[in-house]
């Protein structure tokens, strides 16, 4: 019996697992504990260089001061390791870099260049962030808890970002709202303890947003009575909303909706409105004078086009961007970028969801908009014209 126990004790099944599996297991440990496993055997010695998650919380303060530079050098080796292409998540707090801002800057750059998916940075002081942080195509999650302002470049490209958390930033220039509108796949937005002037419009526009948290609890208590700001939210797909502490002057989220039954199939309707909208100039020539592609490909997310149309005898032009498209559900959404509508609306989107029936289909039309001022009229005439166009298009396609 004793011999049997000994043989079982010598069996190391964990070390026999493939490196990717071991690294996945280590990702559930704190980085400090994960690195400690390197003393188990030569098999584990180099696994820390292939960790998918680097989470440096307050572990540097558990390192004696005379050894902290050694710890930072160790982090350098982890991030600059030639094979560190497996890194997916990088988290760091103020306590973990010991005020060494130039070192932290290099760590962030290395993570971004390595195709990182998640970055989570917390600092008690303002710090400089790499300019290409907001043009990183691989980022899916970005969480920044940093005092000071955030420099939003004129060109933002975060095509895969789904989660954005900003805490303690200065939002005075309003550029963060442009950042939100530029993230076409954004699903979760959290703004906590952000600083802003007493008079500001919070303009949050996102067709993909599902979760929104605005938490200002405990912020600028002494100015509470003097605040005079407006929260404007245009997020038609929102399913979770949390608003803490302060009362805004007003809330504006406006939509017009209608179900339009047409004779054509859902696929026929989607094909024209998504991939061949220029056909509208010949199908309904009294409404559309031109539909031109300006950038991208028809039917592709992010495609930009110019539409010239006539409404009540007035010719107008609008530049639209495909902000959402789903061929499976035959759904497409166009969002306004520029054009005559800009003089009346801060945001303006048109969403069309076609559902197949036994005979024909139903198009659910949703027009979402935010008025520049309360004096602007509801775009009922434009909405009614859109319903007419959908009906005429359906009749034409059914006969084709």
**pLDDT score of 22:** 72
**pLDDT score of 2:** 41
Confidence band, pLDDT 50/70/90 cuts, at residue 5: very low
Closest of 162, 126, 159, 117 to residue 144, by C-alpha:
126
pLDDT tens, residue by residue, 22-59: 767 766 666 666 666 655 666 666 666 566 777 766 55
Taking residues 6-33, report their average pLDDT.
64
The overall average pLDDT reported for the chain is 79
Confidence band, pLDDT 50/70/90 cuts, at residue 3: very low
Higher-pLDDT residue of 23, 385? 385
**pLDDT score of 281:** 95
**pLDDT score of 92:** 81
Asked whether the predicted pLDDT for residue 244 surpasses 70, the reply is yes
Half-sphere exposure of 374 (CA within 13 A, CB side): 4
C-beta of residue 32 within 8 angstroms of C-beta of residue 48:
no
% the chain with pLDDT above 90:
31
Domain residue spans of the chain: 12-252, 254-399
Higher-pLDDT residue of 346, 325? 325
Asked whether the predicted pLDDT for residue 151 surpasses 80, the reply is no
pTM of the model: 0.60
pLDDT tens, residue by residue, 153-202: 777 888 899 999 988 777 666 677 778 877 888 999 998 877 665 566 67
C-beta of residue 278 within 8 angstroms of C-beta of residue 292:
yes
Confidence band, pLDDT 50/70/90 cuts, at residue 264: very high
**pLDDT score of 162:** 94
Taking residues 282-300, report their average pLDDT.
93
**pLDDT score of 279:** 95
pLDDT tens, residue by residue, 193-237: 776 655 666 778 787 889 999 887 655 444 454 555 667 777 878
Residues 254-399: name the CATH superfamily: START domain (3.30.530.20)
């Amino acid at each position: 019996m004793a011999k049997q126990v000994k043989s079982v004790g010598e069996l190391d099944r964990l070390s026999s697992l493939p490196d990717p599996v071991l690294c996945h297991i280590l990702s559930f440990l704190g980085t400090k504990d994960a690195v400690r496993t390197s003393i188990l055997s030569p098999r584990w010695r180099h696994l820390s260089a292939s960790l998918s998650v680097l989470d440096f919380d307050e572990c540097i303060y558990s390192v004696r001061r005379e050894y902290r530079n050694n710890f930072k050098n160790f982090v350098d080796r982890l991030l600059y390791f030639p094979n560190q292409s497996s890194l997916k998540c990088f988290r760091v707090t103020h306590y973990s870099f010991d005020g060494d801002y130039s070192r932290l800057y290099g760590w962030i750059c290395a993570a971004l260049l390595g195709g990182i998916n998640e970055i989570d940075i917390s600092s008690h002081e303002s710090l400089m962030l790499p300019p290409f942080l907001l043009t990183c195509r691989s980022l899916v999650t970005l969480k920044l808890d940093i005092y000071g302002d955030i420099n939003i470049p004129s060109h933002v490209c975060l095509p895969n970002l789904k989660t954005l958390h900003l805490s303690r930033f200065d939002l005075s220039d309003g550029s963060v709202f442009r950042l939100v509108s530029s993230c076409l796949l954004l699903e979760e937005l959290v703004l906590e303890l952000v600083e802003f002037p007493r008079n500001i419009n919070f303009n949050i526009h996102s067709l993909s947003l599902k979760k929104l948290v605005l938490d200002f609890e405990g912020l600028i208590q002494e100015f509470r009575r003097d605040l005079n700001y407006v929260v404007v939210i245009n997020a038609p797909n929102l399913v979770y909303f949390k608003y803490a502490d302060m009362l805004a002057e007003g809330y504006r989220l406006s939509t017009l909706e209608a179900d339009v039954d047409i004779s054509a199939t859902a696929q026929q309707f989607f094909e024209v409105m998504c991939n061949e909208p220029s056909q509208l100039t010949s199908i309904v020539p009294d409404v559309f004078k031109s539909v031109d592609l300006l950038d991208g490909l028809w039917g592709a997310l992010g495609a930009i086009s110019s539409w010239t149309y006539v409404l009540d005898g007035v010719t107008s032009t609008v530049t639209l961007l495909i902000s959402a498209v789903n061929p499976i559900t035959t759904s497409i959404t166009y969002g306004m970028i520029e054009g005559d509508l800009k003089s009346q609306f801060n945001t303006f989107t048109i969403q069309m969801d076609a559902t197949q029936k036994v005979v024909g289909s139903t198009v659910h039309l949703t027009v979402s908009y935010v008025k520049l001022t309360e004096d602007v009229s509801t775009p009922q005439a434009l909405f009614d014209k859109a319903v007419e166009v959908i009906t005429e298009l359906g009749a034409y396609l059914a006969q084709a």
